[in-house]
Structure 1
Amino acid sequence: MTSSPPSRPRFLDASFLGPYGENDTLLEKLVVEFLRDHVYWRRNFHPEDPPAISTAAAQHPDYLAFEARMRRALHQLSAALKKSVPFHSPRYIGHMASDLLLPGLAAQILTLPYNPNNVTEDAAPVTVELEVKVGLQLAGMLGYSNDPQRPGCAFGHLTSGGTLANYQALRLALALKAFPVALRAAGVPDLALPEDDWSAFNLSPQDAIALVDAWQQWLAQATPAERRHWQARVHGERIEHRGISAFFAAHSELKVPKVLAPVTAHYSWSKGMKLLGLGRAQLEQLPEKGMRIDVEAMDAVLHRCQKERQPVLLAVAVMGTTEYGTIDPIDAVVAARDRYAARGLGFSVHVDAAWGGYLATLFRNPDGSMRTREEVAAEFRQFPSPAVYSAIAALGHTDSVTVDPHKLGYLPYGAGAFICRDHRAITLLAEEADYVFHDTASQEYLRRYRNLGQFIPEGSKSGAAVAGVYVTHSVLPLDHAHFGRLPAQTLRAAEAFHARTQRVAEALRGVAHVTVPFPPDSNLVCIAINPCGNHRVAAANAFLRRLHDELRIDPTRPVQDKQFFGSVTTLRPDALGDLETRRILTELDLDPASLREEDGDRLLILRHTLMNPYLLDEENGISYIDLYCDYLEHQIRSLLASHA
């Protein structure tokens, strides 16, 4: 623990355009330099080809009229965009967005004119390879093996966002779980297959991957005719071919598997269950303690599933909930997976780290090894708690992870990512399986995924987003000495915000009850507020809505009219549990009975995402955290006075 936090690393000052546009010259130089470079590339592609557009064309009336229309439309767009959310400003502490890292922004702008389509290397020979390398970069950050020379090397790819990455996790877990059953049904000889469908459906993820690998090796030794025969037989038995209803009708001993996810999990899990045809009813929400998975309750659910012979497809843990930034006990979920696999109930573990994934950079040395908790904690007041450290240390033992570079990676939308621990499972997602791969050399690894569209949910997708992520990770490697210094800056801001909120609570004593419901696990802090003398949840929510009206975007008013921007979320008893609900309502002097009677069974709270690296501006001696807290205190007093 340090008495005075380190000053902002100076390299960060070259990393962003800046709240005031301070690095406009740098960005302009980069854009102009590489736009000219692109033009030179066009002119030198086949220099013997003459220009198709003559210089005289620029004087033609039609040309001039088109240019005028284009300029007018662009000016109108530029004017309209001035109403956009000012994510770049330290005054914006609302949703999960901030300023953009210049390496990624410039790389994306640079790549756009080339217009690569990452569905296949035929349309994107450069950026497809970069996308596979981005997956390896993220794998190393998470603690997965990222050495293509190793058979169990990880694999990752980009998506439009965390939602699609979560769908990919469901697809892969289902394909891996059902494949051993298909092998049994096809009657493949000479493989050590489980003795019955239940055992086949409940292999551990690693045992199932080993069976996929054994199948691939078996095919490699078969004659071409045998290979075609057995591939067709196994394909005909797979769940992807037969469909959910036919597969489970053919294997009546088995039930449609459940997915276990915390009640704070993102709604994409509900959508994913519907899209895959598993059904929303098969998504079972796990109770929580302190907005983190209740480990004992999870164990009780797993014990019940084992007793009832109810298969489990996936257990989801969240690393940075969307609402509160809390981190689930990933280590306990991994331990439960291993414990129940030994008892014959196999399932995968996926971590939805769309928000918090890049926090893992703080825990990585440049050589990929894990830092000790003491080394990490030396830079902060409280971060990381022992529970948070243990959770992040367990990431490398999970089966797959979702990460969003367009959140804490500070990159343009849409850039999500899906990463799985062992790339050998991905072969089950291939739309066509024309080749058998059994060489683990790095070039073979890269060549395997040259047609990415076979493996990923999307078809056409931009290679420019890939270039932005790859260049950013190259300029700022994903370890504590490089990229990690950025989230470190924002975590210190979150700790300062938490401490300053306590002073606001003291200053408003007798005026309003102010509390932070949960100590922050990450750089996201929530505040609950209730005017003194009020005991009804509905009235507290109405007051918070009026307060949030001063903090939200209003399309009818210039954004400059707003001093600060924040967001809201809710606390729900079904997520909190009775004990935590009563604790928070007691701190706010609210009647628990009024929560259930009046306002949709939830309590509104302010939510602050503290990811701007300039919240503590040492250069100008400004703390936007102090300014915001002063503003918040003033608004609370003013609103109460106006409604007295």
Structure 2
Amino acid sequence: MSAHDAPPPEPRDHVLDACFLGPYGENNALLEKILVEFLRDHVYWRRNFHPEDPPAISTAAALHPDYLAFEARMRRELHQLSAVLKKSVPFHSPRYIGHMASDLLLPGLAAQMLTLPYNPNNVTEDVAPVTVDMEVQVGLQLARMLGYPHDPTQSACAFGHLTSGGTLANYQALRLALALKAFPLALRAAQVPDLDLPADDWSAFNLSHAQGIALLDRWQQWLVAQSPQQRADWLARVERERIEQRGIAGFFAAHPDLKVPRVLAPITAHYSWSKGLKLLGLGRDQLELLPTRGMRLDADALRERVEQLAREHIPVLMAVAVLGSTEYGTIDPIDGVIAARERARALGLDFAVHVDAAWGGYLATLFRNEDGSLRSREEVAGEFSYFPSPPIHRAFEALAHTDSVTVDPHKLGYLPFGSGAFVCRDHRAVALLGERADYVFHGDGKADYMKRYRGLGQFVPEGSKPGAAAAAVYVVHKVLPLDHVHFGRLPRTTVRATEIFYDRARRFTQEIAARMRVRVPFEPDSNLVCLAFNPHGNATVAGANAFVRRLYEELRTDPGHPLQLKEFFGSITSLRPELVGATQTASILGELGLDPASFGADADRLLILRHTLMNPYLIDRENDISYIELYFDFLARSIAALGNAAPAV
């Protein structure tokens, strides 16, 4: 990790002071005032809907014994719920540095709670006339952050929608890529005239994203020119040939010269990709996991593999890059994936490029100016000691050239769980996902774009969708626009804290050297740092793992004991030789003094501590407290105690 010139001292940010309820509940009066105000406003809305209607519940009802008994039962259960919830994980505290969760942004929390009594269902505008529009707007907000076209008056505008999480967003990416890839073959099989279709199935399946959408456009225009009866006949004829109608087995049986396509992803990719291939019916065998360098996709290995597949005439549906891996926070060379596709095109092979940015997506705000333009690396680097390295900046710059992205507002967007997001660069392909064969566009412009997607349910995997989640994301993005001046305040604070944590970890390795070998196994790319441990005198992976397990006992959530007995909360993950690669595995084990031969059936991976640094109050300047310093003091004490209390490993 190469250092820049030290950034200027960070002034106190009073905007952040108002963003969260706070580790101590400091903003309770603000949240309470907002909730009471808008609860009353909701009640007034009910009373003014038809004020001539009499109250259905009499004022005397509250005095009836049955009413009072029900109230008592409800209060008892709510008190018990409130009591048991005190065993929950304290995500709000800067002492929590475990999984990808932190405190919630007040605008989003309040907006979601405010919207819940209205209970909108974003499946369609019929039951969510307000929030379904907000969800479509959220897609455009995220598209702008990623560098995608975001003007709905333009034909090639992006489109995005919310999901329950990143897993479903990744599945939507697979659905869309397969629909667009397979559609030209349906046109060929239906023998649609006048469209200048590709000469064979291989060429049809390997149209570029832009070529596939252009062909879809020509088909739509051709349909409009037909008589109503001809249009209906041709729609039915093409529909019968589509992969969505025939199914995977039937479709590829109808195209015997075409092999089932592969999906290429780094071995660090989330397990949702395996789920997605199974759900689509393509099968887990079609997912190829590629090696990494430093826990980042090996772009050369990707290039070599796609060239080999081109020679073997095996199609590729999609290449996946990860912008912030779940386990390690590392960022793949997205520019390298784009370059590999360009080389493959010369060999007649084309595929979609999707970025799983569930974790790192909101870091893109650091790279965006208020007008949506990309900031130079020098501009961004002036705010940090290390971040961003040239490869990281190139990765974020390349986002604009990908086909789709997964982002999780419920991670670095600091919003309640249940708000992931899928965004595609060009909305026109989404017509192929419609549950009804409704892919003839009528009219142009923003009004038609917004109207079309107010029927979200026909395009997305879910049916019913919580409009309250859309309201929360939309309001946060309005209060804190997705650029470096506004929302960027949050990741800027936490990336700076990550740099401090990284520096402190390297000093810690020296301070503890007499007792313990400690290493940062790979440099952090985002707000996540891992630490590997091995006690002196131990040379086996099993021995190191035994120690880390005991150390993790001091950090894990234990609902059987009061939370206050824990000083800090962390998480654990592992390094597997097949994931890390032989060269880096040997390097990490060598630095830890571990024998590579000690990997075996009882120790097929090396356990490490994983620290997610999301909390903006890790450096508490108000009280001159560094929770990072406190954490490393805690580690030193824990290591000493374990060394004194436990037998040698």
TM superposition score category, shorter chain reference: over 0.9
Amino acid across the alignment from 2:333? P
Give the match's secondary structure for 2:113.
helix
The answer for the alignment partner of 1:54 in structure 2 is 58
The answer for the alignment partner of 1:73 in structure 2 is 77
- Report if the CA contact (8 A) 2:104-2:416 is conserved: yes
2:274 pairs, out of 266, 270, 283, with 270
- Report if the CA contact (8 A) 1:148-1:440 is conserved: no
Distance (whole Å) between structure 2 residues aligned to residue 461 and residue 75 of structure 1: 29
Instruction: Quote how far apart the aligned CAs of 1:8 are.
Output: 4.0
1:188–1:161 CA distance, 2 compared to 1 (3 A) = same
Trace 1:218-617 onto structure 2 (pairs within 5 A): 218-434=222-438, 436-596=440-600, 598-599=602-603, 601-617=604-620
- Report if the CA contact (8 A) 1:7-1:618 is conserved: no
Counting matched residue pairs gives: 643
Amino acid across the alignment from 1:632? L
The answer for the alignment partner of 1:102 in structure 2 is 106
Deviations 1:599-626 (A, max 9, x none): 1x21000000000000000000000000
Amino acid across the alignment from 1:506? Q
Amino acid across the alignment from 1:271? K
Distance (whole Å) between structure 1 residues aligned to residue 440 and residue 260 of structure 2: 30
Gap runs ≥5 in structure 2: none
Instruction: Quote how far apart the aligned CAs of 1:340 are.
Output: 1.3
- Report if the CA contact (8 A) 1:217-1:438 is conserved: no
Instruction: Quote how far apart the aligned CAs of 1:501 are.
Output: 0.6
Instruction: Quote how far apart the aligned CAs of 1:296 are.
Output: 1.2
Amino acid across the alignment from 2:18? A
Instruction: Quote how far apart the aligned CAs of 1:192 are.
Output: 1.5
Instruction: Quote how far apart the aligned CAs of 1:9 are.
Output: 1.7
Distance (whole Å) between structure 2 residues aligned to residue 2 and residue 214 of structure 1: 55
Distance (whole Å) between structure 2 residues aligned to residue 570 and residue 108 of structure 1: 36
Distance (whole Å) between structure 1 residues aligned to residue 427 and residue 346 of structure 2: 23
The answer for the alignment partner of 2:640 in structure 1 is 637
2:166 pairs, out of 145, 158, 162, with 162
1:191–1:274 CA distance, 2 compared to 1 (3 A) = same
- Report if the CA contact (8 A) 2:91-2:103 is conserved: yes
1:63 pairs, out of 60, 67, 75, with 67
Amino acid across the alignment from 1:432? R
Instruction: Quote how far apart the aligned CAs of 1:216 are.
Output: 1.1
- Report if the CA contact (8 A) 1:290-1:576 is conserved: yes
1:385–1:108 CA distance, 2 compared to 1 (3 A) = same
- Report if the CA contact (8 A) 1:535-1:591 is conserved: yes
Distance (whole Å) between structure 2 residues aligned to residue 222 and residue 529 of structure 1: 70
**TM-score normalised by the chain length of structure 1:** 0.99
Distance (whole Å) between structure 2 residues aligned to residue 10 and residue 619 of structure 1: 11
* 1:12 partnered with 2:8: no
Distance (whole Å) between structure 1 residues aligned to residue 517 and residue 438 of structure 2: 65
1:339–1:438 CA distance, 2 compared to 1 (3 A) = farther
Instruction: Quote how far apart the aligned CAs of 1:105 are.
Output: 0.2
Deviations 1:33-66 (A, max 9, x none): 0000000000000111100000000000000000
- Report if the CA contact (8 A) 2:431-2:438 is conserved: no
Give the match's secondary structure for 1:355.
coil
- Report if the CA contact (8 A) 2:7-2:382 is conserved: no
Give the match's secondary structure for 1:98.
coil
- Report if the CA contact (8 A) 1:121-1:450 is conserved: yes
The answer for the alignment partner of 1:217 in structure 2 is 221
Instruction: Quote how far apart the aligned CAs of 1:595 are.
Output: 1.6
Give the match's secondary structure for 1:243.
helix
Instruction: Quote how far apart the aligned CAs of 1:641 are.
Output: 1.5
1:176 pairs, out of 167, 176, 180, with 180
Amino acid across the alignment from 1:483? F
Give the match's secondary structure for 2:87.
coil
1:440–1:2 CA distance, 2 compared to 1 (3 A) = farther
1:331–1:435 CA distance, 2 compared to 1 (3 A) = closer
1:197–1:3 CA distance, 2 compared to 1 (3 A) = closer
Instruction: Quote how far apart the aligned CAs of 1:440 are.
Output: 3.2
Moved more, 203-212 or 456-465: 203-212
1:187 pairs, out of 183, 188, 191, with 191
Instruction: Quote how far apart the aligned CAs of 1:504 are.
Output: 1.1
The answer for the alignment partner of 1:620 in structure 2 is 623
The answer for the alignment partner of 1:124 in structure 2 is 128
Identity percentage of aligned residues: 70
- Report if the CA contact (8 A) 2:8-2:383 is conserved: no
Instruction: Quote how far apart the aligned CAs of 1:3 are.
Output: 4.8
Give the match's secondary structure for 1:394.
helix
- Report if the CA contact (8 A) 2:405-2:423 is conserved: yes
Instruction: Quote how far apart the aligned CAs of 1:438 are.
Output: 4.5
Q: Which portions of structure 1, spanning 4 or more consecutive aligned residues, are displaced by more than 3 angstroms?
A: none
- Report if the CA contact (8 A) 1:5-1:380 is conserved: no
Deviations 1:341-375 (A, max 9, x none): 23210100000000000000000001000000000
- Report if the CA contact (8 A) 1:359-1:484 is conserved: yes
Distance (whole Å) between structure 1 residues aligned to residue 12 and residue 316 of structure 2: 46
- Report if the CA contact (8 A) 1:216-1:438 is conserved: no
- Report if the CA contact (8 A) 2:7-2:383 is conserved: no
Moved more, 411-420 or 503-512: 503-512
Deviations 1:533-573 (A, max 9, x none): 10000010010000000000011101111000000110011
- Report if the CA contact (8 A) 2:322-2:331 is conserved: yes
Distance (whole Å) between structure 2 residues aligned to residue 436 and residue 74 of structure 1: 51
Distance (whole Å) between structure 2 residues aligned to residue 342 and residue 569 of structure 1: 40
Instruction: Quote how far apart the aligned CAs of 1:228 are.
Output: 0.5
Distance (whole Å) between structure 2 residues aligned to residue 543 and residue 52 of structure 1: 65
Gap runs ≥5 in structure 1: none
